[in-house]
Chain A
């Protein structure tokens, strides 16, 4: 049973526009959520995170929104740049558990 789901395998966005990546989770015990970015032949790189006590966290061009009642989070990238083209993974954890549960990733392509 997949507890973290990214239902869009791919997304294509024009350079300069907003990219919105979505993630849903089923386990109400999750209290910490992360986004990772992955380039080919590299490991996932931490991008931004949010605790369940917040509903928004912003870092430069990246903003993560959390809707606990809907068990949904999203990552907004604005403006999108060609270097943002990568696979984005959503991950969730229970802070006491120390392990991350990942979604299957969304491949983002930024078109010039």
Chain B
């Protein structure tokens, strides 16, 4: 049973479209994250939620909007997709008090054409 699961695994879409990526964790963790891995392979944090509250919001265009319906889910909605949004997006989760060990999903490869 996958601990952190993301859907879809691949997403190909046209510029200007709106798309969502879903993430669920069954580890009972209270904190969830979205990371972006760009073409240079850097993994950079975008957002962090703790118990459904936004904790970290890095310098991300406001076209990106995370939504956490409950502490086991953190979805990422992207409006008006641009070519530069093409990347692999990783969801992760962790538990406060257990260091900063984060557990990652398998990633969603987004290609904007």
Chain B residues with CB below 8 A from A22, complex form: none
Main SS of chain B's interface residues?
A: strand
Question: Given known contacts A44-B43, A104-B40, is B99 in contact with A95 (CB within 8 Å)?
Answer: yes
Known: A43-B4, A44-B90, A89-B43. A100 touches B100 (CB 8 A): yes
B43, B48, B99, B101: the one within 8 Å of A102 (CB): B43
B107 at the interface (CB under 8 A from A): yes
Cα-based distance from A99 to B55 in the complex (angstroms): 10
Number of residues of chain B lying within 8 A (CB) of chain A: 26
Chain A: interface size category = 20 to 34
How far in angstroms is the closest Cβ of chain A from B31? 7
CB pair B43–A98 under 8 Å, yes or no, is no
B100 touches A98 (CB 8 A): yes
Docked Cα-Cα span, A18 to B7, in Å, equals: 38
User: Do B101 and A43 have beta carbons less than 8 Å apart?
Assistant: no
Q: Are B106 and A46 in contact (CB under 8 A)?
A: no
Instruction: Write out, one digit per residue, whether chain A residues 95-112 have a CB within 8 A of any chain B CB (1) or not (0).
Output: 100111110110000000
Shortest Cβ distance from residue A48 to the other chain B in the assembled complex, whole angstroms: 10
Proximity bits, B24-45, A CB within 8 Å = 1, else 0: 0000000101000000111111
Pairs across A and B, CB under 8 Å, 9 listed: A2-B42, A32-B100, A93-B100, A98-B48, A99-B33, A99-B45, A100-B100, A104-B40, A104-B42
User: B-contacting residues of A (Cβ < 8 Å)?
Assistant: 2, 32, 34, 36, 41-46, 49, 51, 87, 89, 93, 95, 98-102, 104-105
Interface residue ranges, B against A (CB under 8 Å): 4, 31, 33, 40-45, 48, 50, 55-56, 90, 92, 94, 96, 99-107
